Amino acid sequence: MARVIAVANQKGGVGKTTTCVNLVAALADMNYRTLLVDLDPQGNASVGCGIDARGLEISAYDVLVGECGVSEASIPIEKLGFDVLPSNGDLTAAEVHLLQVDEREYRLKNALKKITQQYAWIIIDCPPSLNMLTLNALTAADSILIPMQCEYYALEGLASLLETVEQVRNSVNPGLEIEGLLRTMHDSRNNLSGAVSEQLIEHFGERVYRTLIPRNVRVAEAPSHGLPVLRYDPASSGALAYLGLAGEVLRKNRNRQTG
């Protein structure tokens, strides 16, 4: 049975999509069958895996409106070792459609139920806003992974996101957990990064991943080649950091199962 993780932060530009693509690639490298669900109408996760998002015949849109299943819409990326449920701008229309149907929060959850036995991990890339698509992801997920930059305004945004998580727990998904907080685009030379990092650890303790994702030009370049940085430059500091993150995710999951 797959563990479903939603990667979410309503603040854009925090490395959310980069984290999804590279976490999935790292888990695939460790021989886990993994599905990446692109739930962002920008389709950046799809493009970052080499998919022509504008040329899609079926996508996450068709799954959410009930026109096909996840298996039919997913694309196996053989050279990367994992599957992708792709998306594009059509997803914006799906959000409008969902507002008009019953049990709209459960569309993704119900669709994923049919394929959870096929995967060990399902990672969902959420849009950078708290909308109906994000609500679908949080309803379907076992946990939420929150990437964030170590800057002052990030803490304010985090408080708002945690309030949303609590609301989701109280209404549609009581089992939703905080998978972890991931510090991205980290610059060890920046004093503010260090100060915010200390605050996060003080407030959230072991929920903060030890792994720090550094600012790294190879990470920034990889999507333009349609590749995770783990395939584009596996020896880079960014690639090694995402391997470290995958290791932490796996250890936490083992501890959860044995504890």
Taking the C-alpha atoms of residue 46 and residue 142, their distance in angstroms, rounded to an integer, is 23
So what's the pLDDT on residue 259? Answer: 64
CA 222 to chain CA mean position, Å = 17
Taking the C-alpha atoms of residue 133 and residue 50, their distance in angstroms, rounded to an integer, is 23
CATH number at residue 249: 3.40.50.300
Of 211, 207, 202, the closest CA to residue 179 belongs to 207
The packing angle between helices 191-204 and 152-171, to 10°, is: 30
Assigned token pair, 206: 């072991």
How many domains does the structure of the chain reveal?
Answer: 1
Q: What are phi and psi of 179, to 5 degrees?
A: -65, -45
Cβ 45 vs Cβ 22: under 8 Å: no
What string of pLDDT tens digits covers the 259 residues of the chain? Answer: 899 999 999 888 888 999 999 999 999 999 999 999 999 999 999 999 999 998 999 999 999 999 999 999 999 999 999 999 999 999 999 888 888 888 999 999 999 999 999 999 999 999 988 899 999 999 999 999 999 987 777 777 788 889 999 999 999 999 999 999 999 987 777 667 778 888 888 888 999 999 999 988 999 999 999 999 999 999 999 999 999 999 999 999 888 887 6
Taking the C-alpha atoms of residue 97 and residue 144, their distance in angstroms, rounded to an integer, is 25
Cβ 87 vs Cβ 61: under 8 Å: yes
Q: Which residue has the tokens 């800057």?
A: 151
The predicted model scores a pTM of: 0.95
CA 15 to chain CA mean position, Å = 10
DSSP calls for 115-138: TGGG-SEEEEE--SS-SHHHHHHH
End-to-end CA distance of the chain: 18
Say how many CA atoms lie within 13 Å of 68 toward its Cβ. 12
Domain that holds residue 189: 3-258
Q: Which residue has the tokens 């610059």?
A: 187
